[in-house]
Amino acid sequence: IIFIEWAGKAAYKLAKKNLRNKKIFIRLHRYEIDTKWMQKIHWGNIQGIIFVNPELERQFKTNINNKVKTIYIPNAIDINNFPFHIPTIENSMLIYSQSFSSRKGYLELVEIFETIIAQASTVTLTIAAKISTRKSDLHYYSEIINLISRKNLQDNIRVRIIKNDCEIISLLQKHNA
């Protein structure tokens, strides 16, 4: 079994090969659905696609390919385990990912959030992720911090480094996630 996390160039290259006795499975992410790779990947050589969102699965079947087998596996977080907290300045919005990678679009998010703050000055955003050792991610993290500072948005946008996966539970609880 070959598991491919991203439906991009690697999936395209592997899917065009006839890999005997190998089964290829891809996890498809939301941002990938509108890329050129959706039309280029040879879906006939893919044994299954994994989705964490049923709407994305429906969109794929409707617009890309309805013959390849798909499976919906919901995210592993049960929201019923998190009590609701009234949104406050401290907990209004949360963005979390595994790294400060440029593919996450945090610089664009800061720009958009600046517009939101102009309309609703009490809204806050927490961007949380782990620090990667990759130079490109470290550079991107610095760009995020500098942009927030340059735009004087420190009161409304917080960046939090997650060192341990257990920290995210507390953060999620505070942000009604």
Q: What is the pLDDT of residue 145?
A: 97
Average pLDDT value for residue range 27-51: 89
Supply the mean pLDDT for the chain.
Answer: 85
Q: What is the pLDDT of residue 32?
A: 87
Q: What is the 3-state secondary structure (H, E, C) of the chain?
A: CEEECCCCHHHHHHHCCCCCCCCEEEECCHHHCCCCHHHHCCHHHCCEEEECCHHHHHHHHHHCCCCCCEEECCCCCCHHHCCCCCCCCCCCEEEEECCCCHHHCHHHHHHHHHHHHHHCCCCCEEEEECCCCCHHHHHHHHHHHHHHHHCCCCCCEEEEECCCCCHHHHHHHHCCC
In tens, the pLDDT along 121-148 reads 888 888 989 888 889 999 999 999 999 9
In tens, the pLDDT along 140-174 reads 999 999 999 999 999 999 999 988 877 777 777 67
How would residue 30 be classed by pLDDT, with cut points 50, 70 and 90? confident
Q: What is the pLDDT of residue 108?
A: 93
CA–CA distance, 150 with 168 (Å, rounded to integer): 28
Q: What is the pLDDT of residue 166?
A: 75
Q: Is the pLDDT of residue 109 over 80?
A: yes
Q: What is the pLDDT of residue 29?
A: 84
In tens, the pLDDT along 51-91 reads 988 888 999 999 998 999 999 887 666 656 666 666 665 65
Q: Is the pLDDT of residue 177 over 50?
A: no
